[in-house]
Structure 1
């Protein structure tokens, strides 16, 4: 592994990446070997195979980053930027805390970067001793012990650049997601609780439009939420619950569902299911265990519809079918008493919806539970499209040439719903059969193109654009596809694997975005179509190139 110079320069690193790409394109064997050794996409391939990949600048940047021991160019860039502020200790501390905590704690849009924070700590081992706020986030017990000895009241007082009570500072630190820090943070939490810290310490949510200076006190974020809902640490969660933390804090149960062990602990300590929207959130999980736990602890399988984006389909059974959950999810709901005759607000039965979404096994379960319905020709057409059965869909269309144009809105939304939760093959069948490409659906009332960009699905993005989709298509949050790209590239949505927002940006540029330039009032933002917008730096560079070769200057 190469060692970064003490005064690493991002411009110099960019030039290294461009030179590596030039050598690779010139057929240099050493350059090709470097890609094989460091780039996952080239690993275990022959030089000829790697040369045929047509690697781009972002691949060269990723290779350079990995040669220096970083997982991505973004992490290398963040680390180099962090080095640039090290001469001013307080600036460094504030910058470091911004890497260790999420936007709901620091008051910004950026996601936490715990690996970068850990690397910075390795280069600045004295940083926790310089500020007890860093010590809390890094699990530096000796510094915390001295702080309590010097000022016993500090243990329950908001403090530091982020105005955090110590226990909240410990449990919300995203370094807890790194194995080398998890136990250290648990030890700090254990010490604070034994020394008298209130297990129900909390802060107001600072995520914009709130801020560090003006948090949303009506949206409290507890220490328990940090343990169970942010870091999903079962040991830390049990520690807090045993110490008396209130499991009904309106956040912990809902956000714990990705780690059922934490969910189980909360339920065992009295967390209520009703009124938390956790049951509907569990339907977003491919693993049915969280849903089964909630149902076993009083979750209502016929929970009435409340306000919010997840309630479009009505009862939980209908939503489970709409988002293509497994037969085991459906069986759990039915076993708990879900009504197999339930209908959407538009009158579509659970059985018809299962057929329309291509879930034959689920439809069979509903039949066995007493569902009794039949499919119209329109339903048969929609069902064939949903299971990507192009020949059957074309057969029906030949008899009904008005399809799909004559379908009602609740069936036309199958296209964006499928982009959100289903199969790219089904989308291609629908589009090629004339489906309205700007139909809106999914939880956030968005078009298929918006859903594809959110997921970083380059192939689907390019396909939709080629077939007439437009970046101007809006969604339920009042923005358009560029707004979706902005949010996704900065936040990298949870649950999205291998999202390629750089590729999506290139696809959008190739299909006719307006001129793009840096915002002269803010170098971190872009001016597009009269709007000032922010993207991840990598996506911003891809947008700025506007079709230029990768080797040209940014």
Structure 2
């Protein structure tokens, strides 16, 4: 609602001699007015004004515009003024968010789909200097088959491995994404999946017969799974796939297995995604209701609270109110957090009411 007034303020300042390309000092050093205009709540009218007054977009501006909430208008404006985007790393933004149209816009403007993308721009924990190839990143972020097909059709290497030395095909198989595996093979990817990855694929696809057949052929298979491979149960829980979780528990996957950068359990993932029935199953099988992740030191109940506000779309039928009630009824502690009006990740109104009734302050 303030956008039109902000545009006029910017125009008045520029008319009075304000520098359209001046850079900030202090904690956010080296930010320009243009970067501020595209980051977060983008204001394409200010972007247009700054470009008309001499601002020139750089690679990080394109990257931030790739997350824009303005129907990609700021990205469109920046690409119209950018001189050469062949080496841009901005593809990492729409790839990580699954925005196929923004990916298409960057590719149409000349972005190289084989330009390595810094892991820190993708929000991963692989360390400074690590890079991800485009197809590998798309699969890791659970992209739609259409987005992956677009990248590969434009020349992305289907076999380029990530920092863990796994190919996109191996990642797709280990995530149970047969649709992505088909796309990769159609574009020339090698079938290099390991026996463990094929086993994970069977589990995540709820293929009980296939999973048990692989164990029969290799009885020590489950015991040899790596920590990250055991954490595939968290992926199933995040998807709200109760039957896949049931199969994996029956086959010996540990309930306290942790996956990814946050050090969370399957119960954390199910709670965050509002997968009430999966939460119920995990608790019935003995999951630790007070387990804490290694990033925020938070319990599954806290993850459910945050999920209710952010509303991730990983589960097909999320119900955060039911999830929170199940956790509370099972004895989840409410002592470790409160409801604050300044919370950057607040609970939904319905969940906040449930938590207040259970004694959570704030």
TM class, shorter-length: 0.7 to 0.9
Matches within 5 A, 1:269-348: 269-270=81-82, 278-304=90-116, 306-308=118-120, 309-310=123-124, 312=126, 314-348=132-166
Structure 2 residue aligned with 1:228: 38
Q: Which of residues 292, 295, 303 in structure 2 aligns to 1:485?
A: 303
Q: How far 1:464 sits from its partner (Å)? A: 3.1
CA distance in 1, matches of 2:356, 2:336: 6
CA distance in 1, matches of 2:66, 2:36: 10
CA distance in 1, matches of 2:279, 2:81: 45
Q: 1:404-431 CA distances to partner (integer Å, 9 max, x unpaired)?
A: 3432234223233455578565445434
SS at match of 1:284: helix
Between the two proteins, the alignment pairs up a number of residues equal to 348
2:64 equivalent to 1:267: no
Contact 1:257 1:282 in 2 (8 A): yes
2:255 equivalent to 1:437: yes
Q: Which runs of 5+ in 1 are unaligned?
A: 1-174, 177-181, 205-214, 526-533, 549-553
SS at match of 2:224: coil
Q: How far 1:455 sits from its partner (Å)? A: 3.6
Q: How far 1:266 sits from its partner (Å)? A: 1.6
2:49 equivalent to 1:199: no
Q: Quickly say closer, same or farther: Cα 1:283–1:264, change in 2 above 3 A.
A: same
Q: How far 1:382 sits from its partner (Å)? A: 1.4
Q: How far 1:524 sits from its partner (Å)? A: 4.9
Q: 1:460-510 CA distances to partner (integer Å, 9 max, x unpaired)?
A: 4444333333244343424132695398269x3386599765544333322
Structure 2 residue aligned with 1:450: 268
Q: Which of residues 381, 387, 393 in structure 1 aligns to 2:199?
A: 381
CA distance in 1, matches of 2:301, 2:60: 29
Contact 2:96 2:137 in 1 (8 A): no
Structure 2 residue aligned with 1:511: 330
CA distance in 2, matches of 1:392, 1:518: 43
Contact 1:186 1:236 in 2 (8 A): yes
Q: How far 1:318 sits from its partner (Å)? A: 1.5
Q: Quickly say closer, same or farther: Cα 1:315–1:487, change in 2 above 3 A.
A: farther
Q: Quickly say closer, same or farther: Cα 1:306–1:189, change in 2 above 3 A.
A: closer
CA distance in 1, matches of 2:234, 2:56: 39
Q: Which of residues 234, 245, 254 in structure 1 aligns to 2:55?
A: 245
Q: Quickly say closer, same or farther: Cα 1:364–1:500, change in 2 above 3 A.
A: closer
CA distance in 2, matches of 1:274, 1:473: 46
CA distance in 1, matches of 2:347, 2:83: 38
CA distance in 1, matches of 2:269, 2:323: 12
CA distance in 2, matches of 1:496, 1:268: 33
Contact 1:420 1:451 in 2 (8 A): yes
Q: Quickly say closer, same or farther: Cα 1:252–1:365, change in 2 above 3 A.
A: closer
Q: How far 1:433 sits from its partner (Å)? A: 3.4
Identify the structure with the greater strand proportion.
1
Q: Which runs of 5+ in 2 are unaligned?
A: none
CA distance in 1, matches of 2:239, 2:112: 24
CA distance in 2, matches of 1:306, 1:481: 31
Contact 1:415 1:439 in 2 (8 A): yes
Structure 1 residue aligned with 2:214: 396
Structure 1 residue aligned with 2:185: 367
Contact 1:330 1:362 in 2 (8 A): yes
CA distance in 1, matches of 2:335, 2:72: 45
CA distance in 2, matches of 1:517, 1:334: 47
Contact 1:518 1:524 in 2 (8 A): no
Bigger radius of gyration, 1 or 2? Answer: 1
Q: Quickly say closer, same or farther: Cα 1:341–1:536, change in 2 above 3 A.
A: closer
Structure 1 residue aligned with 2:29: 218
TM-score by length of 2: 0.74
Contact 2:257 2:265 in 1 (8 A): yes
Q: Quickly say closer, same or farther: Cα 1:262–1:429, change in 2 above 3 A.
A: farther
2:218 equivalent to 1:406: no
CA distance in 2, matches of 1:391, 1:430: 13
Q: How far 1:289 sits from its partner (Å)? A: 1.7
Structure 1 residue aligned with 2:170: 352
Aligned-residue Cα RMSD (Å) equals: 4.2
CA distance in 1, matches of 2:146, 2:78: 23
Q: Quickly say closer, same or farther: Cα 1:265–1:417, change in 2 above 3 A.
A: farther
Q: Quickly say closer, same or farther: Cα 1:417–1:295, change in 2 above 3 A.
A: farther
